[in-house]
Structure 1
Amino acid sequence: MENRITLKELAKLLNVSISTVSKALNDSPEISPQTQKRVKELAALHHYVPNMLAQNLKTRHTRTIGVIIPAILPHFFAEALHGIETKASELGYRIIICISNECIQKEAESVQTLIKGQVDGLIMSLSQETQARMEIEHLKPIFSRKVPFVLFDRVLKQIECDKVSINDSLQAEQATVALLNSGCKRVAYFSGISDTSVDTERKKGYLEAVKNYGVSQKMVDFDPKNFPDEKLKDLLQNKKIDGIIASDELGAILVMKSALNSGFRIPEDLSVIGFTNGLMSEHFRPSLSTVDQHAEEQGKLALETMVDRIEGKLPPEPIVYKLETSIIHRNSTRHKALQPVN
């Protein structure tokens, strides 16, 4: 590989000090425009590349942020990651991405890798296993080393840090009320993401709505890899349910696919509302009514919060953001006036 020219070598060729070359390349007002022009032209001629390691040692910042997400396939995390990367690029930062695959051990390894890599901060959405076991010991190095930390979407009250999410409980309550106001009498909650904070909050909202309306509750947890087709078929055949709030987009699509395969009509026999406004929601037939979680906006806000924390623009106390969301009504719900929660 061709040897790169150094600041020292540029200075020697120009017969100026190393400091002058460095300041000229960084547009310092201390250096005349003529000298800046000479330095930059020679640097370009020799394909000069700044030594980032040396700069980082000097400033004590790498302008690099670590991001740990539970999975990359769900549309929500793909959109959130897009928001994080877009905003990072806009603000002059880079990101390093790790995927925990819903595993606490992988999450712990990612934390150690990123901290050792001298990132300026960490943005994370917690793994399912971390939340199920309520174990956060592996996150202690973040705090002991005073690394700025932002949680988004999946958060825990026990962790004191900046957080970005939506009001999952309220949104689930509003979605349940929307189904009840559209004519549904027996609304169930189906979840394929049990043991996560978002699922716990959405269940709370669902239970609050059915309690306020005086209707019976029905909650079903399932493994997305083994959907309970016969159970859903039995519930529909015996008219035990006519509406479903699904915990996430994939869960809602699996519900509709199973119901359609069993000969039931959507929304005439079964109305469905899911979470996350992804491509599957829009293009499945019938299209899925869904709670728009504004994933990209969550990602952008998480990154902005991180940068503000790194640059000392926030107060010492953690900041908690709750984004407003909305229900997008498509063809999986009945077309009747839908009223929000008072």
Structure 2
Amino acid sequence: MKKTTLKDIATHFGVSISTVSKAINDSHEISSELKLKIQDFAQEVHYRPNHIALSLLKKSTKTIGVIVPNILNYFFTQVFYGIEQKANSRGYGIISCISDESLQKERQTVDLLSSGTVDGIIMSLSEETQAKKDLTHLQDLIENQIPMVMFDRVTDQLDCDKIVVDDFEAGYKTTKYLVETGCKKIAVISSISNSSVGKLRVAGYQKALKEANITFEDRLLVKVGKKDDLQVLIALLIANNDVDGIIALDEITAVDTLNILKLKGVQVPDEIAVVGFTNGRLSKYVSPSLTMVSQHGKYIGELAADILIDRIEHDGLMPFTTKTVKTTLITRESTKNIP
């Protein structure tokens, strides 16, 4: 069935295409009688506007592209939700993409979104992008004046709006809290060791250890790759029976760590306390419930959408801004109380 066009409607009424367009868009320039007739007819023939053509005409798609490294991380799910809520309230849709921690996939996604599909992009860098420091695809975005807001995993090498979580302070505060509850051998389990946020959290952890006169040990920093068996790594970690605290740098790893410790008969928190990052639903309902670091993902998403849309609608005349979001430690049953 042939799709009805503005030209078809214009021919039917013996008027110009411009008149039909104005009538459908409820312009005051067209008489109410003719406007109603055209609108009724357009509905009758199931006319649908060509959004691609309209976006080319207006040089606007009213759409935002969002690229995250890992959708299984509840933090990024929260950010997605915040972006969508804020964007929708301001009349924008979103296209959601996942880089899966891959530089190549991130590059392909950026190329797709920057080809006129969206008005701007909100993104967090993949781990591989940060490890290889290859930012040519993002430099092209900036040179082509496509607005971009980076969040969480950002780089100082690009001039754009940024929202960062104070990950150094988060690692520091979390470690300090465990020390204050009596922990003396605190391990970190990281599945994001090559990312900026992973490195900052470890740096904060090391600072807190130093302040407490606790020697940092390499064996207590456990880096988990995609092909590694977490159960084996934890078995090796606790083999000496001296580890009394574990910080997992993402929620799924924290939940898995808790379950593995329970399977091995370890009493949490009496023998080993556990803290995770990202305060998602899983952490509330496991037993014992997990102490977690909340990064306020929904708020970050709302803030990112607001900053990007403001820049889109003000033609990029605003100075670039970097916002820092503080974390909150939410204490539950997986850690002891401070004496």
TM-score (norm 1): 0.89
Change (3 A) 1:82 1:165: same
Map 1:38-57 → 2, pairs under 5 A: 38-57=37-56
Corresponding position: 1:184 with 2:189: no
CA distance in structure 1 between the aligned counterparts of 2:275 and 2:315, rounded to whole angstroms: 39
Give the alignment of 1:123-142 within 5 angstroms.
Answer: 123-142=122-141
Correspondence for 2:322: 320
Deviation at 1:333, TM superposition (A): 1.0
Q: Is 309-318 or 110-119 further displaced after alignment? A: 309-318
Residues 169, 204 of structure 2: 8 Å contact kept = yes
The within-5 A match list for 1:50-199 is: 50-199=49-198
Q: Does residue 247 of structure 1 match 2:249?
A: yes
- Unaligned 5+ segments in structure 2 are none
Alpha-carbon distance in structure 1 between the residues aligned to 2:62 and 2:136 = 27
Are the equivalent residues in 1 in contact too, given 2:68–2:99 (CA < 8 A)?
yes
Query: Partners in 2 of 1:135 and 1:305 — Cα distance?
Result: 25
State the alpha-carbon separation in 2 of the partners of residues 190 and 242 from structure 1.
13
Q: Which amino acid letter does the alignment assign opposite residue 275 of structure 2? A: I
CA displacement, residues 251-295 of structure 1 (integer Å, 9 cap, x when unaligned): 222322232222210011111111011222122222211011122
Report if the CA contact (8 A) 1:224-1:251 is conserved: no
Match of 1:217 in 2: 216
Correspondence for 1:3: 2
Distance 1:68 1:235, change over 3 A: closer
Q: CA deviation at 1:108?
A: 1.2
**CA distances 1:297-319 after superposition (whole Å, capped 9, x unpaired):** 22222222221111117654322
Asked if 2 retains the 8 angstrom alpha-carbon contact of 1:190 and 1:244, the reply is yes
Structure 2 Cα separation of the partners of residues 225 and 15 of structure 1:
68
| Structure 1 residues 44 and 235: CA distance shift in structure 2, 3 A | closer
Per the TM alignment, residue 130 of structure 1 is displaced from its structure 2 partner at its CA by 0.8
Cα 1:162–1:71, aligned 2, differ >3 Å: closer, same or farther?
Answer: same
Q: 1:216 to 1:25 in 2, by over 3 A?
A: same
Q: Does 1:260 align with 2:262?
A: yes
Tell me which residue corresponds to 2:279. 277
> Structure 1 residues 109, 313: closer, same or farther in 2, change over 3 A?
closer
Q: Deviations over 1:21-62 (max 9, x none)?
A: 222222223334444323322221221111223212211112
Contact kept? 1:189, 1:247, Cα under 8 Å: yes
8 Å Cα contact 1:103/1:130 also seen in 2: yes
Aligned-pair identity in percent equals 40
Contact 1:188 1:217 in 2 (8 A): no
- 1:160-199 Cα offsets, whole Å, 9 max, x none, are 2111231111112111122122222332222121100110
- Shift of residue 237, structure 1, vs aligned partner: 5.5
Cα distance in 1 for partners of 2:210, 2:87 equals 44
- Cα deviation, 1:57-101, whole Å, max 9, x if unaligned, reads 211112222222212222222232233233333322222233222
The verdict on how the C-alpha distance between 1:43 and 1:270 changes in structure 2, with shifts beyond 3 A counting, is same
Q: Counterpart in 2 of 1:307?
A: 309
Deviation at 1:235, TM superposition (A): 5.0
Distance 2:290 2:136 in 1: 39
Letter of the 2:334 counterpart: S
Letter in 2 for 1:323: V
CA distance in 2, matches of 1:273, 1:314: 41
Count of residues paired in the alignment? 336
Q: How far apart in 2 are the matches of 1:224 and 1:255? A: 15
Q: Cα 1:51–1:231, aligned 2, differ >3 Å: closer, same or farther?
A: closer
Asked if the contact 1:27–1:36 (Cα under 8 Å) also holds between the matched residues in 2, the reply is yes
Q: Distance in 2 between matches of 1:252 and 1:265?
A: 15
Structure 2 CA distance for partners of 1:235 and 1:335, relative to 1, 3 Å: same
- SS of residue in 2 equivalent to 1:29: coil
